[in-house]
Amino acid sequence: MERWVENPPSDFLQFVPLWVQIKHIPVNYDSEKAITTLGDLVGKAIPVAFDPEKSQRQEYVRAQVKMNIANPLNKSRIINLPKECGSVEVLYFYERVQKRCYHCQSDS
């Protein structure tokens, strides 16, 4: 939510903060820096809900991302890993986005 101003800047009301669940992160890349980078692929990662001291038992990690409303929501990204690790598809699920199926992200 942005406060109204008399002379708004050019990017006024163009960005919205969303919580994103990031799934299928490779075990070796379960770090705050890697998760922030994955969040930056769909927007600008603000905070990441990651505590390296706690066991990561959930199937996803949450990050808050500042999204440009003019861009479509990415459901997944192919990440090329170094050396012989190949590539992996990382999935993104956007929390509380209206008019989208939570599971498949298609328009309702």
- CB neighbours of 64 closer than 8 A, spacing ≥ 6? 17, 18, 19, 20, 39, 45, 46, 47, 48, 49
Domain residue limits, the chain? 15-94
pLDDT tens-place string over residues 15-52:
888 999 999 888 777 788 888 888 999 989 887 776 66
Q: How far apart are CA 68 and CA 20, in angstroms?
A: 14
Quote the tokens at residue 27: 């075990």
Q: Is the pTM of this model over 0.85?
A: no
pLDDT tens-place string over residues 57-93:
678 888 899 988 888 888 999 988 877 678 889 999 9
